[in-house]
Amino acid sequence: MIDAILAGLSALAEGCRHLAAHGGPNLVMIAIAFAMFYLAIAKDVEPLLLLPIGFGCLLANLPLSEVMDHEGVLRSLYNMGIGNELFPLLIFIAIGSMTDFTPLLSNPKLLLFGAAGQLGIFLTLIVALMLGFTKEEAVSVAVIGACDGPTVIYVSNLFAGLNKIPTAMVGALAVAAYSYMALVPILQPPIMRLLTTQKERATPMPSGRGKVSKAALIAFPLIVTAITGIIAPKGLPLMGMVMLGNFMKVSGAVSRLTKASENEIANISTLFLGLAIGGTMNGPEFLKVQTLMVFGLGLLAIVTDTAGGVLLGKLWYYLSGGKVNPMVGAAGISAYPMAARLVQNEGQRWNKQNHLLMHAMGANTGGQIGSVMAAAIMLSILKGLGII
């Protein structure tokens, strides 16, 4: 009994020493974890991600926590699914199985919006390099502009595994990416209104419900996969998993696998991914000036993406003689289908007869492809330079 009491007192003393040494940063991160809980539970902001990320952050910052030690539970999850990029890739399969490329294939020109929606990635890459980030860090930060959390995690963790960026930076990048995804409904409307006139915002467009043959829908993911393998082979796992999920869906031959990808596999992968990412958010390693810069650059990326799409939309508006609503370009990011619905809602605010959803969905699915392709191209360039 005495030995047990002494052991308990020794553990308590060790906990006090740890708290005294690292207590400030750890307490800040615990507060951030509770802020995530509040956003997830009370405000319904990306609850499937923020809740497990917040809980992982809480576990990692408690005194004497061993969850991220060599054999800790969160370290095991990290090694099992983040260290080898498994969890993000499984989520990509789910994304593909839930994506409908019909609006894009019925009007392929909308893919241009998906390209314009990646402008923020390349501008942020340049700014990050100018601020002193390494090439690998700059690429990781720039990919936040994809507005696609799994892409950010895949790319940043690839560099972390090669010891090119700190592991703690993966958590900061993931939180920034998912935070800005959740903030799309707040960030995009002011930008759309700032860059367009009331007349442009009220521009009506036909419903845009085009028909696409099943053969075209089946061929599309195969063609995109092949093109990616030729142009940017380093990013083939990213695009390949998205297109695998879509191929299963449109083939109609494996409905059980499609449903499992959309539900059980996606949910389990998201849970484990969130916990593992949260585990990297240890206070002393996470709370650095660089982390704040990551969030600032992420905001620049998302704002520039939206502006790039809308400005292309304005150009298209003038070239078409006022037949294209410029706001459709704002859907050219990868926040699918949130951005498309946002454009539809904003369009109807200015003209009740506006039917922008199908056009915005086409731009949005184009953004889905564009974001993954942009990341794939940057990875392939770095491979060609011998950096990875």
Instruction: Please say if the pLDDT value at position 2 is more than 70.
Output: no
Spell out the residues 6+ positions from residue 242 whose beta carbon is closer than 8 angstroms to its own: 92, 93, 95, 96, 99, 368, 369, 372
Residue 191 pLDDT grade (very low, low, confident, very high; cuts 50, 70, 90) = very high
Q: Is residue 260 part of a domain?
A: no
Q: Is residue 190 part of a domain?
A: yes
Q: Is residue 44 part of a domain?
A: no
Distance CA 318, CA 312 (A): 10
Q: What is the pLDDT of residues 319-330, one digit of tens each?
A: 999 999 999 999
pTM for the whole structure: 0.83
Average pLDDT value for the chain? 87
pLDDT at 385: 67
Residue 167 pLDDT grade (very low, low, confident, very high; cuts 50, 70, 90) = confident
Q: For 210, what's the count of Cα atoms within 13 Å in the CB-facing half-sphere? A: 18
pLDDT at 19: 47
For 288, the enclosing helix (H) or strand (E) is none
pLDDT at 263: 94
Q: Is residue 203 part of a domain?
A: yes
Instruction: Please say if the pLDDT value at position 204 is more than 70.
Output: yes
Q: What is the pLDDT of residues 94-130, one digit of tens each?
A: 999 999 999 999 989 989 998 888 888 999 999 999 9
What average pLDDT does the segment 185-213 reach? 88
21-25, 42-46, 253-257, 335-339: which range is least confident on average? 21-25
Q: Is residue 169 part of a domain?
A: yes
Label residue 241 exposed, middle or buried (CB < 10 Å: 0-12, 13-18, 19+): buried
pLDDT at 378: 85
Task: Quote the domain boundaries for residue 326.
Answer: 98-250+285-384
pLDDT at 10: 53
Q: Is residue 69 part of a domain?
A: no
| Residue, of 49 and 96, whose pLDDT is higher | 96
pLDDT at 21: 53
What average pLDDT does the segment 227-256 reach? 92
Q: Is residue 206 part of a domain?
A: yes
Q: Is residue 123 part of a domain?
A: yes
Q: Count the domains in the chain.
A: 1
pLDDT at 388: 67
